Amino acid sequence: MAENNELERTLWADAEGKKGGQFYTPASIVKLLVAMLEPYAGRVYDGCCGSGGMFVQSERFVEEHQGNIKDLSIFGQESNPTTLRLAKMNLAIRGIDAKLELGDTFLNDKHTDLKADYILANPPFNVSDWSGEQLRDDIRWKYGPPPTGNANYAWAPAFYPQTQLQRHRRDCAGQRQYEQQYRRRGRNPAEDD
């Protein structure tokens, strides 16, 4: 496992790590993001998936918490063809099924009909040439268009259409234990949602 992580870091650094705005997300940050979201089951989306590290960590999280990896569906998009191939290889060697697409999330969103339960991404920040001028009237900017010279404020509203608007109830061993403890105290956990 450690050899795969080192191979991934080496390939990523050689392929993409030196380009502006694109970088390898440290494993500690990926692990923290996944632990915060707890993607036990449902659809996970990353619109700038890079080498697929968020997806790999999501799978590990499910396995570490005795969940079923088949309850997790992976969707992603990457604008760089070399990086997309690296992501597909990264997931394939681990046996992770995913629907990964090539394309610029801002200009050509390939997952417009997706309603994800989890948005898990670390987008390339401070990108100045993100086609902001071309997208001034995009319907995703409900609260006004982001600055054209920097993509930082464009990522969250770009991902928003993919979010699942209703709460997702996790069905895993940890959630069942939590609900059983709640019921022992005479309460229904669904009433607290």
Q: Which CATH number characterizes residue 30's domain? A: 3.40.50.150
40, 78 Cβ separation under 8 angstroms: no
| pLDDT tens for each residue of 109-135 | 999 999 999 999 999 888 999 999 999
Question: What pLDDT does residue 171 have?
Answer: 42
Cα 8–Cα 10–Cα 13 angle in degrees, nearest 5: 105
- pLDDT attached to residue 120: 93
Cα 86 off chain centre by: 16
Q: What is the pLDDT of residue 40?
A: 86
CA distances from 105 to 75, 76, 90, 161 (A): 12, 10, 21, 12
Buried-state track 80-112, b at ≥16 Cβ within 10 A, e below 16:
beebbebbbebbeeeebebebbebbbbeebbbe
* pLDDT for residue 189: 47
The three-state secondary structure class of 152 is helix
Q: What angle do CA 144, 146, 152 make, to 5 degrees?
A: 140
Full residue range of the structural domain in which residue 89 is found: 2-192
pLDDT in tens, 87-97: 999 999 999 99
Which pLDDT score, from 0 to 100, does residue 145 have?
92
Number of folded domains that form the chain: 1
Ranges of the chain whose pLDDT falls below 70: 1-23, 165-193
Predicted structure pTM score:
0.76
pLDDT of residue 94: 93
